[in-house]
Structure 1
Amino acid sequence: MPGDQKSSAASVDPEQLWLRPAEFRRGRRPSFSREVITEAAVTLADAEGLEAVTMRRVAARVGAGVMSLYSYAPDKETLLELMVDHVSGELAATDPPSGDWRTDLKTVAHLQRAHMLRHPWLPAALTTRRVPGPNTLAFLEHALAVLRPTRLDGAAKLEVFAQLTAFVAGHVAHEIAQAAAARSPERAAAEARYLAAVAADGRHPELAEALSAPGRPLTAEATFARFLGRLIDGLDAD
């Protein structure tokens, strides 16, 4: 069906999507809305992943025919744009920037991490260029305000935000994969034995030294904070 064919984010018209109200097809006005459709798609993705989100399954959840959904989301790529912006409404920052841009930027990253962990499909969705909708733009506006104390120009501020978002998305994807692997004690034990054998073979002295170093806190939160600190503290924003 046309709504489930693969599409590119580049084919989504941002003016039609965000600036023009959804146009209904001829005939009786539907009893559902774009928001209802988007919420149904998000619920599916949260529970079963992006692969589960098809126009047919979304239509079934809202009790509509598949064809009636196309006025709101003509294809899955458009629906994905709607989903990303819909959940971005959860990112509303209530506190104004403190003026300490490094601390504030770390807060932005922690908000993003918690947000992506609530919606594990988001890291994959963000790997494709997205057209920011109103909720996404609101959070971007906050992030740019955080960077105001720096001497970065506008383009550089946007690059920093993109770099930060990409870092968080990549880290959360890895975090989710690690959590899944940890649920298999046999696999974890096999990995430990493998690394011990590699460290002892004499061909990887640098790795052996690194593995023998004192351990650091391995909680997901501590690991994220440590990596984030390296990223942000290393930014040259003067």
Structure 2
Amino acid sequence: MPGNGKPGAESIDPERLWLRPTEPRRGRRPSFSREAITAAAVTLADAEGLDAVTMRRVAAEVGAGVMSLYSYAPDKETLLELMVDHVSGELTVTGPPSGDWRADLKTVARLQRANMLRHPWLPVALSTRRVPGPNTLAFLEHVLAVLRPTGLDGAAKLEVFAQITAFVAGHVAHEIAQAAVSRSPDRAAAEGRYLAAVAADGRHPELAEALSAPGRPLAPDATFSRFLNRLIDGLDTD
């Protein structure tokens, strides 16, 4: 990663990666492809997390020697670029925008959330700068069309897309963490006792009042919808 002596995202040449994909060396045609390598890496990350994705592990998954992979992905950062764009291909949109840009933008966010929940490593991978590949660009093109009725200029539209993506990534990361807590009843109970003690200590009246208010539905879908509505309904297009 940047700053630790290893190749980083800033070392990737997007023209070579996306417009001039590296061809395998001359000789016997390999039994795998860049697509197969990327799919294997995605499957590995889905099952074991990003730390499990190494060139050696991926090579083993496709039945290749490690050195033979470097014609397709010279380092893990490049492989991550391929993985992110690969799963972006799952962001399928049916039909043109409806003209109701707020509703369409909420649909975009829900597609992103579903994709990130299928691939829990994705929010982490998106936390560093990525060079958009063809699948990502196709989805971005749709989002820009969704935002056309707003009258925002191009830079503002790109900012909205970045804002929505960052919100979804952060929310999904929180969802995943909360799901882990819910699988540990003792920890959840301990957190509840701690907050109750803090609310009763007299030093946090605002928090005490907030915690005493009627609860909201805690189902993940309902929670996401509430947060998303606040964000998108409050977007300023002036």
Shorter-chain TM-score range: over 0.9
Alpha-carbon deviations, 1:100-136, whole Å to 9, x = none? 1111100100000000000000000000100000000
SS state at 1:90 partner: coil
Q: State the AA in 2 paired with 1:31.
A: S
2:42 aligns with 42
SS state at 2:64 partner: coil
1:149 aligns with 149
> Within 2, Cα distance between the matches of 1:192 and 1:229?
27
RMSD after superposition: 0.9
2:173 aligns with 173
1:21 aligns with 21
> Within 2, Cα distance between the matches of 1:159 and 1:78?
25
Can you give the 5+ residue segments of structure 2 that lack an aligned partner in the other structure?
none
**What's the CA shift for 1:42?**
0.3
CA contact 1:7–1:75 (8 Å) conserved in 2: yes
1:121 aligns with 121
Q: What does 1:156-235 align with in structure 2 at a 5 Å threshold?
A: 156-235=156-235
SS state at 2:150 partner: coil
**What's the CA shift for 1:7?**
2.5
CA contact 1:92–1:138 (8 Å) conserved in 2: no
1:11 aligns with 11
SS state at 1:91 partner: coil
> Within 2, Cα distance between the matches of 1:95 and 1:205?
50
Bigger relative contact order, structure 1 or 2 (CA pairs below 8 A, ≥6 apart): 1
Q: State the AA in 2 paired with 1:157.
A: K
Matched length: 234
SS state at 1:51 partner: helix
1:111 aligns with 111
Matched, 1:53 2:56: no
Task: Give the % identical residues.
Answer: 86
SS state at 1:22 partner: coil
TM-score of the two chains, using structure 2 as the length reference: 0.96
